[in-house]
Structure 1
Amino acid sequence: MNGAESLVRTLVNAGVEVCFSNPGTSEMHFVAALDKVEGMRAILGLFEGAVTGMADGYGRMAEKPAATLLHLGPGLANGLANLHNARRASTPIVNIVGDHATYHAQYDAPLASDIMGFARPVSGWLHSSNSPKTVAADGARAVQAAMQAPGQIATLVLPADTAWLEAEHAAPALPVPGPAAVSREAVDAAAKALKNGRKTAILVRGQALKEEGLALAGRIAAASGARIMCDTFAPRLQRGAGRVAIERIPYFAE
């Protein structure tokens, strides 16, 4: 088993079922592992922006990460616009970026670039594997980080030699902590604001824009007279007959 196969098996162990990809030569061992390992569906995108856009949409609806596979820094850069959207939406994504072999970095090849610099603005978690022996554990940590509430992009840089050299085994899935509890003080402050007799609005986002959250927001609005509103570009909003209607804040608020 090489590093790439140990990584793909680890992703499958952690519940990642889809990899949207636009690979190049540096990622061929990962591509071979995608073909070899059961449980991972590979979908080719003809442009990196399509790859990252599909991963964003998948993560919003499935509420778990897909993997991406991008070719070096230029491939990552081509996909940054939709990774920016995913970051704003708190979408879980495991973003895998191939790199030149570690020993080849000294030659400053034509496609060499500051991958970490490109990835940092859109990544909640960022790491570059430095050994095939640690790739599996790095992958498990990436999935754990992507699933951290409310969701984020975890970028794992995979140098080619860490993918093709011998690895030991896949890693098990790591536990994912739930969202932090809301303090009693915050609840009391919100209740006080709703009872002050002034015009009040409740801004709803994230998981609360699903059916259960909307129903609860509707009950609070009915009891308090507050308006319930959401962002113009809500990551996901459940709508339809019988559901509580919610106002979107106009894009041009003035």
Structure 2
Amino acid sequence: MTADHHRAPVLEALVGYHRQGQLAFSPPGHNQARGADPSVREVLGDAVFVGDMLASGGLDDRLRELAAEVRAAVEEIDGMHVDDRDDLCGQGLADDFDPLPCVIDLTGLGISGFQAADWLREHRQVDMHLNDHRRIGGRITHADDRDTTAQLLAALKDLPQAAPDLPRAPRVEVLEPAELRPAQAVPPRDAFFGPTEDVPVSAAAGRVTAEMITPYPPGVPAILPGERLTEPVVRHLTTGLKAGMNLPDASDPELKTIRVVAADADPGE
């Protein structure tokens, strides 16, 4: 799966599996899905329902073992580091750790996660789950086995050889947690539905936003209607966009302008 909303990864994957003559997925079901909607069976075919869930014991154990194998193998690839409990848990961090997502730090390769994800998709037909300015991520699921993870690992092992031919990763201004909490100047509804104007991004800091701008991934808004824009947030968005960040909900996807509350309606003006 990919977080790029300009594509249809599920349909593309089904087409790819069809061309390879492989079964796209085999979800566990009950009674081999004899109660499934006929229209669903018509689209998916009967083959995907051959799996029959009789007991769940062992599924999670197999999955954890497979994920551990993948994580260990990726850690051995030059220039890659798999974020683990030591990176993610501790004081001021997460309380616990899910081993199934494989989040790979590419700092050692000198390329961004955006560049890596594009290369893997174009040259190895592998879609990563999430990517950002220095990481790519995939998730091991019940649909995976050693055949599918072998394809992933083979593609990842080829990436360090391709990295020197890719442009150096642009620098992204990463925000501190406190910088992600701009002051709320007016109620969101008033900002969104009230009088607005579009201003150049260079003049947007200090103004009250009238739109939501969400870097994707992770899909968490950097700014919401009614919040007063700060210089760090503007720099994060502009440098991220240059590096390949996707801003699916901005009124100007190129971020040359930002929609703000009209000056005569801004309580701070």
Q: Shared fold (TM-score greater than 0.5)?
A: no
Name the structure with the higher strand share.
1
Q: Choose 1 or 2 for highest CA Rg.
A: 2
Bin the TM-score by the shorter chain.
under 0.3
The higher-RCO structure (CA 8 Å, 6+ apart) is 1
